[in-house]
Amino acid sequence: MSTSEQTPQDEISLKELIERVRIWFAYLLSRWKVIVLAGFIGGALGLTYSFITKPIYIATLSYVVEDEKAGGGLGGVLGLASSFGFDLGGSGGSIFSGSNLTELFKSRKMVEQTLLTPVIVNDKTISLAEMYIQNVKWRKSWVNKQKLASIQFLPNTNRNYFTRTHDSILGAIYYDLSKNSLSVAQKDKKIGIVSIEMKSTSELFAKYFCEALAQQVGQFYVTTKSKKARMNMAILQRQTDSIRGELNSAITGVAVANDNTFNLNPALNVKRSPSARRQVDVQANTAILTELVKQTELAKVTLRRETPLIQVIDRPILPLKKERFGKVSGILVGSFLSAILTILYLVVRRFIKEM
């Protein structure tokens, strides 16, 4: 087929397309009252939705970790190199390095322990888990369920005493918070400031949970980081106390032996041997105790050096930042969606009739 034959067909096809668009436009224009009415109804529904939707409160807490052990020596060199954009590694050995620490905040263990933290609500001390259940009004649906009606989450309860039902409820709370409410992020790898953000329809729950989670993770982090140094210091302290007891006993033994040989005939030297033996014990225990005291003091210095400092920079302060589906947004979104759906309905209905 030649080009001269194709051109008229193309022109006819384009004309038909324009004509069809014009027909559809005229059809929709003739139904403008229906479309406008649908938009008005959608706007009213959107406005109603903005009134009944609860606002979302956002609690934000930022902190920084100062680890003296990692701050000097090779750690300082690596930090300096990192500031110039060079990655020399060296930080992979710590279980709390980089994103590991931020993921610790979202771990199930930390979140569940935080949920058992006591808070005061309406002059009553309850756990954060109980506060969450009250906010989402689960107990209303548990009234007719015997297994759930008696479930309680008391503050600071030992996790080992929980039943399978307790675990299921805590698991449901954890998954909801970790997926929809809780976020932990480090804005920049070169900046050690980490931000925790908690969203909730309850302003107090968002604030309390954010602060309790930071405290819970902080305690776990400090305890774990300094665990070896703390164990070493405890062993040295026990040895020191034991040797001090032996030394006191030896000193008492020397005094008793001296009392027994008071005004003793100088020719009876055998009677003086117990005193001499106890004196040797005193000297030996004194030397051992001196060294242990020195090692214990060094262990205390090491413990202080290896215990990181978690410094909270900003805490959530009431009133919290609030996100809400606005009235204007509700009207605009509702009207737009209703109008679009109505147009699609009219187009589909006419298309089916023409088939």
Residue by residue, pLDDT tens for the chain (355 residues) are 444 444 444 455 777 778 777 877 787 778 888 888 888 888 888 777 777 778 889 999 988 876 655 544 444 444 443 443 434 444 444 555 556 777 888 889 999 999 999 998 888 899 999 999 988 888 888 888 878 888 888 888 887 788 888 899 999 999 999 888 898 887 666 667 788 899 988 899 999 999 999 888 888 887 887 777 778 888 888 888 888 888 888 788 777 766 666 555 555 555 556 666 777 777 888 888 888 888 888 888 877 777 767 778 888 888 888 877 667 777 788 888 888 888 888 888 877 777 6
- Are the C-beta atoms of 152 and 138 separated by less than 8 Å? no
Q: Distance between CA atoms of 63 and 316, rounded to whole angstroms? A: 12
**Residue 257 is encoded by which pair of tokens?**
């032996």
- Specify the residue for token string 């290896």: 306
Strands (E), 177-324: 182-186, 193-200, 309-314, 321-323
Q: Is the dihedral of CA 87, 93, 98, 103 positive or negative?
A: positive
SS3 37: helix
Give me the residues paired with residue 185 across strands.
195
Q: Distance between CA atoms of 131 and 279, rounded to whole angstroms? A: 67
Q: Which of 212, 284, 247, 238 is nearest to 59 (CA)?
A: 212
- Measured in Å, how far apart are the chain's first and last C-alpha atoms? 32
SS3 124: strand
Cα distances from 289 to residues 130, 243, 245, 282, in angstroms, run 53, 6, 10, 10
What was the pLDDT predicted at 114? 92
What was the pLDDT predicted at 131? 92
**Residue 243 is encoded by which pair of tokens?**
């040797």
Q: Distance between CA atoms of 119 and 113, rounded to whole angstroms? A: 13
- Are the C-beta atoms of 198 and 111 separated by less than 8 Å? no
Q: What is the pTM of this model?
A: 0.65
Q: 182, exposed or middle or buried, with CB in 10 Å at 0-12, 13-18, 19+?
A: buried
Q: 209, exposed or middle or buried, with CB in 10 Å at 0-12, 13-18, 19+?
A: buried
**Residue 122 is encoded by which pair of tokens?**
């309406």
Give me the residues paired with residue 124 across strands.
121
- Are the C-beta atoms of 214 and 148 separated by less than 8 Å? no
Q: Distance between CA atoms of 116 and 119, rounded to whole angstroms? A: 9
DSSP string, 118-136: EEEETTEEEEHHHHHHHHH
- Are the C-beta atoms of 173 and 115 separated by less than 8 Å? yes
Q: Distance between CA atoms of 248 and 127, rounded to whole angstroms? A: 50
Cα distances from 301 to residues 74, 232, 241, 258, 265, in angstroms, run 20, 12, 19, 41, 53
Give me the residues paired with residue 200 across strands.
57
Q: Distance between CA atoms of 355 and 350, rounded to whole angstroms? A: 9
Q: Is the dihedral of CA 129, 135, 138, 143 positive or negative?
A: positive
Q: Distance between CA atoms of 201 and 135, rounded to whole angstroms? A: 8
